[in-house]
Structure 1
């Protein structure tokens, strides 16, 4: 389900960003606006990012091999990290650089009315893209706030799309305000400031996304599944004590490691039957659990 949600969100985002990028580019050339140019670069970077996310999802779905027995699920995290780097460099740093250059040179922003109209259209398209992404997010939030979901989700592609869409909407607001000030005052410095602010915004979003994807790459725990499995195990008659439970995200799947103390009077054959039964039930309860490694131990 998560894979389908991410695919739809990426498709919405790509379609919206491509149309926005073309309109912003034309308006930037026509008006000479640095803020619009920064926004156009941002939109083209987003289009490239969505292609990277699609590639990552395709490669992550490959079947396991002898060399990679757990499959390639985490590869989606690698491509999401590439997106964060692209957003930071091409989107953020270039926009800051472009705005800084415009401080040192005299430039005129023309046809600001047309530029503002383009930005309003872009806001509508970007809002539609964000609506599509948030529809997918709602299915995963499970009562959590958007920030909690962002820091806990295993869906790196969906996290990136939501981050990009939010940054794009805020960037459009900044560009609209700064172009409006430029039109009212005739001072193009506001336009340069707009480009820098958009760049800073993109850098911040890229750092936040990069931090979360980095955590997933290292092997982030799924506390919801861990706690639910622990609660299930303590109710089982064959389990004396639950010593440890790890639930580690591996792309769209989870690797579960259990260390528990079983009743000492159980025969080996009975212990095997009990463990197999618990593993089957756990996988029924949690569809994302792909692997269960159960180790018998004692608390001594």
Structure 2
């Protein structure tokens, strides 16, 4: 956190591992920087909009319950991309006096809205529609059109999914995580949302195709209605995971242990730092952390000089593109120093 009257450094386009002007290099907390997340969201928005229109037309013509559920799914995803664009834009605003750590946490607020929208507009609607079809089955027709739309949707969703996989894989490699671990742990809610929604969309398309095919083969609308319910259950599960991850970042989450170890190593390598006895790194936005710690400065100095040296150390660390702000206090003489292996 920053002290009163000081705001955090402006965000820039340095990538993970780049050295900050203050000479404080370490891995960012989970993501690449720059336009990657915006590109991922816009690709997903374009794909989902086209898919939603096509599925809606096909659902009206075929009267398939599974296609109707998939249309609702795609409209929910399209609306969610708007929330994610807003999340990225508002989170990127610079720090000010009222928000000394910046506006990064707004990304989690708007991403939470998107996840709730997926839960209600996608999951709840699909389940309700499927249950209604079980009670009052409506036979479908024009199956060939349904298959064509589902195939086109799979192609477009696959393109969007590949874009999110490319970004996630590059970030995961930097953080030394596997792909799924990184998607769940990343501080970038837009990447996590697009990846999860596209993965759910591809799975949902398989379920919808199976339901439609079973409807055609058996002549019964029941498998089609069951397909709609299964799509809804899938979306509810995905939405619940996204809601929980955004909630955890909103209430405050410690940075990845590998990031903490990298920060500690960098601090201990500074000539002005003799010991670091306490260190807390909290994620305050996509790719942004605040640093709070207790340090023992090298040498003996008068109190007024120590205060100046502490402020200089805070400024040096806050110069990193990944740090929204830093606050340090003096360590007690008997407190042992932290080591990277102890974190």
TM-score normalised over the length of structure 2 = 0.81
RMSD across aligned C-alpha pairs, in angstroms? 2.0
Q: After alignment, is 225-234 or 237-246 more displaced?
A: 237-246
User: Superposition pairs for residues 198-277 of structure 1, below 5 Å?
Assistant: 198-223=231-256, 224-252=258-286, 253-263=288-298, 265-268=300-303, 271=306, 275=310
Asked if 1:295 is matched to 2:329, the reply is yes
Contact persistence 1:2–1:155 (CA under 8 A): no
Query: Which has the larger helix fraction?
Result: 1
Distance 1:195 1:299, change over 3 A: farther
- Looking at structure 1, the residues matched to 333 and 40 of structure 2 have their Cα atoms a distance apart, in angstroms, of 47
Structure 2 partner of 1:155: 188
Aligned-residue offset at 1:196: 0.3
User: Superposition pairs for residues 1-300 of structure 1, below 5 Å?
Assistant: 1-2=32-33, 4-141=35-172, 142=174, 143-223=176-256, 224-252=258-286, 253-263=288-298, 265-268=300-303, 271=306, 275=310, 278-279=313-314, 282=317, 286-298=320-332, 300=334
- Looking at structure 2, the residues matched to 191 and 261 of structure 1 have their Cα atoms a distance apart, in angstroms, of 67
Q: After alignment, is 267-276 or 23-32 more displaced?
A: 267-276
Count of paired positions = 299
- Looking at structure 1, the residues matched to 57 and 270 of structure 2 have their Cα atoms a distance apart, in angstroms, of 66
Q: Per the alignment, in what secondary structure is the counterpart of residue 69 of structure 1?
A: coil
Deviation track 1:171-190 (CA, whole Å, cap 9, x = no partner) reads 00111111111112212110
For structure 2, which runs of at least 5 residues remain unmatched after alignment?
A: 1-31, 335-343
Contact persistence 2:169–2:179 (CA under 8 A): no
TM-score normalised over the length of structure 1 = 0.92
- Looking at structure 2, the residues matched to 140 and 75 of structure 1 have their Cα atoms a distance apart, in angstroms, of 22
Q: Per the alignment, in what secondary structure is the counterpart of residue 261 of structure 2?
A: helix
Contact persistence 1:229–1:282 (CA under 8 A): no
Between the two structures, name the one with larger relative contact order (CA 8 Å, sep ≥ 6).
2
Aligned-residue offset at 1:194: 0.3
Contact persistence 2:102–2:324 (CA under 8 A): no
Q: Per the alignment, in what secondary structure is the counterpart of residue 44 of structure 1?
A: helix
